[in-house]
Amino acid sequence: MTDKTDLSDGSFGFETRAIHAGQHPDPSTGAVVTPVYLTSTFVHSAPGEYAGYDYSRAGNPTRAAYEACVANLEGARFGFALASGCLGTTTAMHLLSQGDHVIACDDMYGGTYRLFETVFRRCGLDFSYVDMTDPAALEAALRPETRMVWLETPTNPLMKLIDIAAVAEIAHATGAQVMVDNTFMSPYFQRPIELGADLVLHSTTKYINGHSDLIGGVVITDDEDLAERLDFLNCSMGGIQSTFDTYLCLRSLKTLAIRMQAHADNAMAVARFLEAHPKVAGVAYPGLESHPQHELARRQASGFGGMVSVTLEGGLEAARKMMADVRVFTLAESLGGVESLIEHPGLMTHASLTPEKQAEVGITPGLLRLSVGIETQADLIEDLERALAGV
C-alpha cells in the first residue's frame, strides 16, 4: 500500500498537506477517508499491553489523524482536540499555577474574558489587560510572576492587530509563554508558531470546521514539554472532542484553503463597499489600506480573513434596524461558517462585559460585526445596500 508519510513534509503545499497530512489509507480495507472509530475501548493483548490505543479518552485513531493534520498546518507537531474553544482556553490555563500572572490583550472574545475574570481569577490566577498594539504597554505590564501572554490578532471585535513576533521576543525575554488565539485567521492565513508563539488556540467551531454544525476547539504546540503536559491534562480532565466531530473537522480541513480565500475575497468587497457608504462611520478590516496596521497585516499574514467590523453613524437605533432588515446575512452569534452572519457585540457576543468595560475597550452602540460567508458576492453587497437604505 502506498505510504503517504512524506506528504506531511513541509516541502508540500498547504492544500496538499490539508488533504493528506496525518492520514493514511485504512490498512484493513484500503479506505481513502480516515474511518470514524466509534469505540470507547480497545483490546489489550495482555495486561497493560496494547497496539497504540487503550481508551478513547486517552487517544482515538480518528482524533489522532485530525490532530496531526491541524498541527501540521500550523507548522507544529502536536495538536489536542477539545470539546470547545472555551475548553481549549480552560486546558491552557491549567498549565499555570496559583499566583501566576497573565497579560491579555484588552480587546478579546467576551467568553475568554468571562472565563478569566469569573473562573480563573477565583482560582488564584491574576490578569492584566493591555493594548498590545503598543509593545511598550506590554513591557510595562510585565511582572516577575508573569507566566503567559495571551493575545488575539485580529482582535475580537475591533479587528486590531498585534505584532506576534514582537510580543514573543518581549515575553520570552522574561520567561513567559505566548499563546495566540488564531481563530479569526486560520492556519491558512496566519501561523503564529512560525512567528515565535508557544501555543495556538482555535475555536474549531469557526473556520476550521466552517459549516456551523459542531462545537470544537484545538490547542497546538511545537514544544515537547508543553505537549506532554497538555496530553496529561487532556486525558485527566477528559475534555476531548467527540470522535464524530473530529472526523467532521478533518473532512473540513480538506477545503480550508479554498473556503478561506473565498471568505477573504468577499470580505474585501464588503469592506470596500461599507467604507464608501455615507451612513457608515468606520470600517475595520485589515485588508483596507485605511486600517492603521495594514502593513503589519501584510507582513504577518498571507491574507486578511473574513471578519469585518463596521460602525454606523446612527448608533444603536441604526444597528438594530440594519440587523432586522438583512436577508442574506443571518442575525446570529458565532462566525467562520460558509453562511454570512451579522451580530451586535455589545448586545450579543460581548454582553458579558459591563457597559463600562465595553466603553473602555471601544465597543460602541453602533458597532456591528460581520462574518462574511462565501455566498455570491453581488448578493452580499445588495443585501447590505438595501438594509442600509432603510437605516
With b for 16 or more beta-carbon neighbours within 10 A and e for fewer, the 288-313 pattern comes to beebebbebbeebbebbbbbbbbbbe
CA angle, residues 237, 241, 247, in degrees to nearest 5: 155
**Of 11, 18, 13, nearest in space to 207 by CA:** 18
Reported in sequence order, the residue ranges of 115-242 that DSSP labels E, i.e. its strands, are 126-130, 146-152, 177-181, 199-203, 217-221
Distance CA 60, CA 67 (A): 10
- Residue 99: burial class (beta carbons within 10 Å; 0-12, 13-18, 19+): exposed
- CB-based contacts of 142: which residues, under 8 Å, 6+ apart? 103, 170, 171, 174, 176
Provide the annotated active-site residues: 57, 109, 181, 206
